[in-house]
Amino acid sequence: MAKMWAGRFQKETDAVVNDFNSSVTFDSRMYREDIEGSLAHAAMLARQCIISSEDCRAITEGLAGVRADLDAGKIDLSPEAYEDIHMAVEEVLTERIGDAGKRLHTARSRNDQVALDMRLYTRKEILTIRALVLEFMRVLVQKAKENLHTVMPGYTHLQRAQPITFAHHLMAYCNMLRRDVTRLNDCLERMDECPLGSGALAGTTYPIDRAFTAERLGFNAPMDNSLDGVADRDYCIELCAALSVLMLHLSRLSEEVVAWCSWEFKFVELDDAYSTGSSIMPQKKNPDVCELIRGKTGRVYGSLTALLTLMKGLPLAYNKDMQEDKEAVFDAVDNVKMCLRVFAPMFETMTVLPENMKKAAYRGFINATDCADYLTKKGVPFRDAYKATGTLVARCIELGTTLDALPIEEYRAVSDVFEEDVYHAIDLNVCVAERRSLGGPAPEEVSRQITKIEGFIEHEA
């Protein structure tokens, strides 16, 4: 097909260049946004008497038809036919309605058009991702509620450290995800400005009404500088940064689930529907879902790095390099959505094995701090108490036993402050229940954390 710019040229575009230059294979996913923007633009042009109301009606009806045919997959969107989605919509429209279609691009450029489409698209996707994160938080909260009393070791350096509960552990992730939701909110708020009407870069001599289109398209305001309007991709970068942190959180949890369902831990068992087998080892049940989430995290970071690198050397305003923003954002968005959609039901159907968590808790001397605290509460300076407990732990290792089973004579040989009530003080359930400090693992304290997060989810949903 002859190019829209053919008048200026004496030769046709080289076929390889045509493919290279075209973005329709991937930007066609924004056709609804493109049409929405054109509808608002046409309405504004008519309102300002820049085009006639008859032309506006023809454009409006024509675009509805194009949208219906695109919905039905009736329009061939190959690079041979169209360069990008913006040209495709305009050309199809013009084929159908003639001159009115040719008037649509008055006082507009593809530069402000693509800037608008990307904003409309990312805004929609952010809302979807937010909802998926909130849904996943609901799953975590539910599991936390069922495991308020499920004692497990908390770790530092992947060494058993102090007693916590599974609920406490999950609520840590809920708080990370809460911040992820607020990061997405911030991104939405900052990108809530409309670039339409920036023109190619320098605005227009037509008496356009940018406030009208901004409002009609659901933006807070028009962007205040036309060069910025077409050159800015901050919001894409900000979105990919927010998604990278979100993926980082999903990846850490994935890593933990991988560990937890290994025979070394066996804290959880994944549902068959969410695990995979091995082609050679009949005994295997693999946490592929978690591993893929961990892997795809790298991909989302890749999008962020690509965008940062893409934009860093570009002079104002539009440069074709910026066409590369789309696949980076699309890939990040697609992968994050997929990860959340598979992770939530995987987590929901996962069986928690409290007995195994408890067994691990009993084996790691994770009540040693509580043993030292016992002495401290009886007046022994903490450093002396710490040393005495260290001696007891060494003695336990020597005897192949635990602090809970070590005879009282052994305790008294180290410090005569020890009495029978030490066994109560170092009982794991007591150790957890007594950790009532704000943010701690005591069941009533974790319940408070849960109530707070539930309030957040309700507020944001």
Please report, as residue ranges, which positions from 61 to 100 form the binding site for ligand ARG (by CB under 6 A).
84, 86
Please report, as residue ranges, which positions from 168 to 207 form the binding site for ligand ARG (by CB under 6 A).
none
* In the block, residue with structure tokens 């359930």: 429
Contact 352, 268 (CB under 8 A): yes
CB of 154 to ligand ARG, least distance (A): 49
CA distance 187 to 190: 5
108, 110, 169, 233: residue in contact with ligand ARG (rule CB under 6 A): 110
> Which residue, 216 or 233, is less far from ligand ARG as judged by CB?
233
| Binding residues for ligand ARG, total number by CB under 6 A | 11
CB of 248 to ligand ARG, least distance (A): 29
185, 323, 349, 447: residue in contact with ligand ARG (rule CB under 6 A): 323
Q: Which stretch binds ligand ARG (CB under 6 A): 9-17, 107-115, 217-225, 307-315?
A: 107-115
> Which residue, 69 or 321, is less far from ligand ARG as judged by CB?
321
Q: Pattern of binders to ligand ARG over 114-143, x per CB under 6 A? A: x-----------------------------
CB of 23 to ligand ARG, least distance (A): 4
Joined together, the tokens standing for residue 203 give: 């605005």
> Which residue, 161 or 314, is less far from ligand ARG as judged by CB?
314
Please state the φ and ψ torsions of residue 283, each to the nearest 5 degrees: -80, -10
CB of 114 to ligand ARG, least distance (A): 4
CB of 84 to ligand ARG, least distance (A): 4
CB of 26 to ligand ARG, least distance (A): 9
Please report, as residue ranges, which positions from 329 to 368 form the binding site for ligand ARG (by CB under 6 A).
none
278 as an active site residue: the answer is yes
CA distance 430 to 338: 41
Please state the φ and ψ torsions of residue 206, each to the nearest 5 degrees: -75, 150
Q: Which stretch binds ligand ARG (CB under 6 A): 286-294, 319-327, 357-365, 449-457?
A: 319-327
38, 94, 111, 415: residue in contact with ligand ARG (rule CB under 6 A): 111
301, 318, 343, 365: residue in contact with ligand ARG (rule CB under 6 A): 318
Q: Which stretch binds ligand ARG (CB under 6 A): 67-75, 109-117, 207-215, 248-256?
A: 109-117
Q: According to the binding rule CB under 6 A, does residue 13 interact with ligand ARG?
A: no
Integer angstrom CA distances of residue 22 from 75, 85, 329: 17, 9, 17
Measured at the CA of 33, the angle between CA 28 and CA 36, to 5 degrees, comes to: 130
Q: According to the binding rule CB under 6 A, does residue 322 interact with ligand ARG?
A: yes
Q: According to the binding rule CB under 6 A, does residue 27 interact with ligand ARG?
A: yes
Can you give the three-state secondary structure of 337-359, one letter per residue?
HHHHHHHHHHHHHCEECHHHHHH
The string of DSSP codes covering 66-135 is: HHHHHHTT-S---TTT-SSHHHHHHHHHHHHHTHHHHHTTTT--HHHHHHHHHHHHHHHHHHHHHHHHHH
Contact 242, 184 (CB under 8 A): yes
CB of 44 to ligand ARG, least distance (A): 20
CB of 75 to ligand ARG, least distance (A): 17
> Which residue, 27 or 180, is less far from ligand ARG as judged by CB?
27
Q: According to the binding rule CB under 6 A, does residue 38 interact with ligand ARG?
A: no
CA distance 88 to 79: 10
CA distance 409 to 244: 55
> Which residue, 110 or 169, is less far from ligand ARG as judged by CB?
110
Q: Is 217 exposed, middle or buried (0-12, 13-18, 19+ CB in 10 A)?
A: buried
> Which residue, 322 or 366, is less far from ligand ARG as judged by CB?
322
**What percent of the chain is helix, strand and coil (3-state, nearest 5)?**
65, 5, 30
CA distance 307 to 325: 6
Joined together, the tokens standing for residue 421 give: 């009530």
Q: Indicate which residue of 38, 169, 278, 437 is catalytic.
A: 278
Q: According to the binding rule CB under 6 A, does residue 226 interact with ligand ARG?
A: no
Measured at the CA of 204, the angle between CA 201 and CA 210, to 5 degrees, comes to: 90
Q: According to the binding rule CB under 6 A, does residue 23 interact with ligand ARG?
A: yes
- Reduce the DSSP state of residue 2 to 3 states and report it: coil
CB of 11 to ligand ARG, least distance (A): 18
* The residue type at 223: M
Q: Indicate which residue of 149, 157, 262, 424 is catalytic.
A: 157
Contact 388, 422 (CB under 8 A): no
Q: According to the binding rule CB under 6 A, does residue 25 interact with ligand ARG?
A: no
* The residue type at 449: Q
Binding stretches for ligand ARG (CB under 6 A): 23, 27, 84, 86, 110-111, 114, 318, 320, 322-323
| Positions marked active-site | 157, 278
